[in-house]
Amino acid sequence: MNPLNATHDPKLRSWVESANVPGCDFPIQNLPFGRFRPAGSQEAFRIGVAIGDRVLDLAAAHVIDHADMNLLMAATPAERATLRAALSEDLREGSPRQKHWQLALYAQADVEMGVPCTIGDYTDFYTGIHHATTVGKLFRPDQPLMPNYKWVPIGYHGRASSIGVSGQRFPRPKGQTKAPDADTPVFGPSKRLDYELELGFFIGQGNALGEPIGIVEAEQHLFGVTLLNDWSARDLQAWEYQPLGPFLSKNFATTLSPWLVTMEALAPFRAKAFERPAGDPAPLPYLDSDVNRHTGALDITLEVWLQTAKMRAAGEPATRLTRGNTTQAAYWTPAQLVAHHTVNGCNLQPGDLLGSGTLSGPEPDQAGSLLELTLGGKNPITLPNGERRTFLEDGDTLTLRGYCERDGAVRIGLGEVSGTITGA
């Protein structure tokens, strides 16, 4: 695990004044990485660090001499720690770099963000036990969880080419659906389009083919975390998912927040792994360690906000649908996902993405999908303007937000990720 050090000092202040505003997502204690370019330009994307409401161009500040995020992610843990320490030192009040680095700052409002890195492979897991249980009850009341759920981190390989960054717009997906009382399926637009509230874990250093990553070393191979919305067409999914799992119901779009919040920045916000109920099996030895049990989880508050086309036209703000916390949701830790993914010799590479799966809490208002909030569409939710939703409609904009806060530490945020559904 990454230790606490001077970069986490709650007394630190930056010469970028907006980074000192209470509640800011990007104080000097955060320093997440992203890829950006001036809005409206055709310039190549370059690597930046978010500080307050600004972005520091690392090449213009002569911190790095390249624009390859995957190369930066492949650095050793010691090299990453050195870079973070240098950024913290030179962005704090009184730094002699201020005069020079001010010329390398851009307003976040004036830049276009890209997908944070080149994503070679994407695996989506199913760590949210309350989501798995609630959804399982809808389809298998007598056996909500399959027998393997508490033994093995369940995952499937997703599609990297359709991953987009916050602001993504995509058409309603089409495919086959089959009503329970129908003899044959029909083809057409999905009528049960949903979101999934997830975290995305990005791999830093990879491993050689045939060389598993042990649970003790697993976190050293994680670079950082983003918010992730794994859009899902529930009606397509119900017809296609057996026997091999999701396909067209998932591969049409996945949306990420643009900032990679590093594992180093998250050091003050560690928590015990999910407390398994009495009777649940202990993880097999390759998925278990004392450190993972005591500090393997992340303490992140997650929120879901919805703004319909009608609300937007009326100038009405988005309304919050849910708020929950990862400590109550994820049955498996990030380190366990890495250890399990590689235990058969699978080689991970810098920039590979691991999705957490839908992170729902135990209470109804902590659900991470409309499938759960409306119990499969049986109980529509009513929005403040009187509109009702069972699943997402054309023109809806769905936004995920995440942040960490704890006594003795400065609040840091993951930013937000938004996406809008257009017509089929």
Q: Are 345 and 329 contacting, i.e. CB atoms less than 8 angstroms apart?
A: no
Quick one: which of 198, 187, 182, 78 has its CA closest to 131?
198
CA distance 349 to 213: 12
pLDDT at res. 48: 98
The per-residue pLDDT for 141 is: 86
Amino acid at the residue 233: A
Q: How far apart are CA 189 and CA 143, in angstroms?
A: 31
Structure confidence at residue 376 (pLDDT): 94
Note the pLDDT of residue 58: 98
Q: How many residues does the chain have?
A: 424
* CATH architecture, domain 6-113: Roll (2.30)
Pairing outcome for strands 353-355 and 122-125: parallel
| Catalytically active residues, by annotation | 131
**For residue 197, what are its two tokens?**
């509230």
- Angstrom distance (rounded) from CA 413 to CA 52: 11
Q: Which amino acid is at 200?
A: G
Q: Left, alpha or beta for 393 (phi > 0: left; psi -120 to 50: alpha)?
A: beta
pLDDT tens track, the chain, 424 positions: 788 999 999 999 999 999 999 999 999 999 999 999 999 999 999 999 999 999 999 999 999 999 999 999 999 999 999 999 999 999 999 999 999 999 999 999 999 999 999 999 999 999 999 999 999 888 888 889 988 999 999 999 999 999 999 999 999 999 999 998 999 999 999 999 999 999 999 999 999 999 999 999 999 999 999 999 999 999 999 999 888 889 999 999 999 999 999 999 999 999 999 999 999 999 999 999 999 999 999 999 999 999 999 999 999 999 999 999 999 999 999 999 999 999 999 999 999 999 999 999 999 999 999 999 999 999 999 999 999 999 999 999 999 999 999 999 999 999 999 999 998 8
| Spatial distance between the Cα atoms of 369 and 173, rounded to a whole number of angstroms | 18
Say how far residue 266 (Cα) sits from the centre of its chain. 14
For the sheet with 46-51, list strands across it.
105-107, 54-57, 46-51, 33-38, 111-113
pLDDT given at position 2: 86
Q: Are strands 168-171 and 412-422 parallel, antiparallel or unpaired?
A: parallel
331 and 374 in contact (C-beta within 8 Å)?
no
CATH number of this structure's domain 122-422: 3.90.850.10
Q: For the chain, give the secondary structure using H, E and C.
A: CCCCCHHHCCCCCECCHHHHCCCCCCCCCCCCEEEEEECCCCCCCEEEEEECCEEEECCCCCCCCCCCHHHHHCCCHHHHHHHHHHHHHHHECCCCCHHHHHHHEEEHHHEEECCCCCCCCEEEECCEHHHHHHHHHHHCCCCCCCCCCCCCCCEEECCCCCEEECCEEEECCEEEECCCCCCCCEEEECCCEECCEEEEEEECCCCCCCCCCCCCCHHHHEEEEEEEECCEEHHHHHHHCCCCCCCCCCCCCEEECCCEEECCCCHHHEECCCCCCCCCCCCCHHHCCHHHHHHCEECCEEEEEEECHHHHHCCCCCEEEEEEEHHHCECCCHHHHHHHHHCCCCCCCCCCEEECCCCCCCCHHHCCCHHHHCCCCCCCEECCCCCEECCCCCCCEEEEEEEECCCCCCCEEEEEEEEEEECC
Nearest alpha carbon to residue 258 among 63, 86, 113 = 113
- Domain definitions of the chain by residue range: 6-113, 122-422
The strand pairing partners of 306, in sequence order, are: 319, 398
172, 422 contact by CB (below 8 A):
yes
Structure token digits, residue 340:
């399990």
Q: In what order do the strands lie in the sheet with 397-404?
A: 168-171, 412-422, 397-404, 301-307, 319-325
Please report, for residues 159, 265, 422, the alpha-carbon distance to residue 253 in angstroms, rounded to integers and kept in the order given: 9, 28, 12
